[in-house]
Amino acid sequence: MTTITVRGQRFGGVPRDHWRRVDDSLDPDTDFVQIYRNLAVHEFPWDITQALSFALFRTFAVPGIGKLLDDTGAFTGATQKRYDDTVLLLEVPFLRGFDDEQGRAAIRRINQMHRSYDIPNHEMLYVLATFVVVPQRWISVWGKRPMTDVEVRASVRYFRTLGKHMGISDMPDSFEGFASLMDDYEAEYFAFDSGARRVADATLALLASFVSPVPKGVVRVVSLALMDAPLRNALGYSHPPLALERLVTAAMRARGRALRLFPARLTQRRNADSQRMRSYSDGFDIAQLGTFPGGCPVRSVDAHATRSGRATPGPYPAGASDR
């Protein structure tokens, strides 16, 4: 096979910027699920997964959120499962869409968990803002290219739609609005809490286990180097040496530049298929993901998904709500 390498093209003429072109040809107001799916499973799968992992740490640094997570014991006593549940429940809606039975079942499960606790709207809104802002900022610094205006607008529309299904109010209607909300909220609420620190430590240990050949201490210090100073301060972490921060920065930027040489990813890279997902090797039932404070899980055959994404249709649990 002849390999063709010209500006913007490689390997048989497949454009390197294929997904940018596809996304920019779509309407962010109506095709936002498709655009966000393209970003998450084709163009920036590793970046978005890592960015959302670090977005979790930002939520831990808000004492009201971090303390609640510590009190439930889910993130410290069953860290792998709680991480898997969170990632899978967030992935199903953009893979399947908000009108799909599995997408609706995932949102229903998220809402059932949240309604078991007295969580104020401002905390829910802040967490949603991290999902909008942190990936865009991560990709703008570490990715192979920045997100386009269409992709940013689609991401905002996607998470506003998710927030609507979750009953979150007072959502901004632009990226700039979400960014200001997140930055202002952190300036007011970031603070140290010992319970939140336990949750962060457990999550760091889990992240270290994902790259087991690398010593856990190395993964931990690199992770801390990727955190900004306000986040480290709020979680009570010491700052890595400046030389190490510069080394990590250089390595991450080199990775982004190297990725520009690779052809577009035409196959999906989904978290559900990742070896990091260790809790459900034989597939998972959406209705049983997450925690069940004060109650028992209800098996729903319509919400069963294998690692290949296939589902068995069936009735919804009686009395279930899509919100």
Check if the beta carbon of residue 166 is closer than 8 Å to that of residue 111.
yes
What is the pLDDT at residue 9?
A: 39
pLDDT tens-digit map of 223-281? 999 999 999 999 999 999 999 999 999 999 999 999 999 999 988 988 887 777 778 87
Across the range 191-213, mean pLDDT stands at: 90
Q: Which range among 127-141, 196-210, 226-240 shows the weakest confidence by mean pLDDT? A: 196-210
What is the pLDDT at residue 109?
A: 92
Across the range 48-73, mean pLDDT stands at: 92
Choice between 315 and 234, residue whose per-residue pLDDT is larger: 234
**Residue 319 predicted with pLDDT over 50:** no
The CA–CA distances, whole Å, from 96 to 100, 200, 304 equal 6, 31, 13
Check if the beta carbon of residue 139 is closer than 8 Å to that of residue 47.
yes
Across the range 161-187, mean pLDDT stands at: 97
pLDDT tens-digit map of 270-310? 888 777 777 887 788 888 888 777 654 444 434 444 444 43
Using pLDDT thresholds of 50, 70 and 90, give the confidence band for residue 50.
Answer: very high
Using pLDDT thresholds of 50, 70 and 90, give the confidence band for residue 76.
Answer: confident
191 phi and psi angles, rounded to 5 deg: -165, 160
What is the pLDDT at residue 21?
A: 96
CA angle 173/174/178 to nearest 5° reads 95
Across the range 61-66, mean pLDDT stands at: 95
Across the range 87-103, mean pLDDT stands at: 93
Check if the beta carbon of residue 300 is closer than 8 Å to that of residue 287.
yes
**Residue 317 predicted with pLDDT over 50:** no
Across the range 24-50, mean pLDDT stands at: 97
SS3 311: strand
> Cα–Cα distance between 303 and 285 in angstroms, integer?
6
Average pLDDT in the chain: 85
**Residue 5 predicted with pLDDT over 80:** no
Taking alpha carbons only, the member of 166, 171, 134, 169 closest to residue 152 is 134
Across the range 41-46, mean pLDDT stands at: 96
Check if the beta carbon of residue 13 is closer than 8 Å to that of residue 263.
no
> Cα–Cα distance between 312 and 300 in angstroms, integer?
10
SS (H, E, C) 177-200: HHHHHHHHHHHHHCCCCHHHHHHH
Q: Which range among 9-23, 140-154, 185-199 shows the weakest confidence by mean pLDDT? A: 9-23
**Residue 3 predicted with pLDDT over 60:** no
The residue to which tokens 């294998």 are assigned: 306
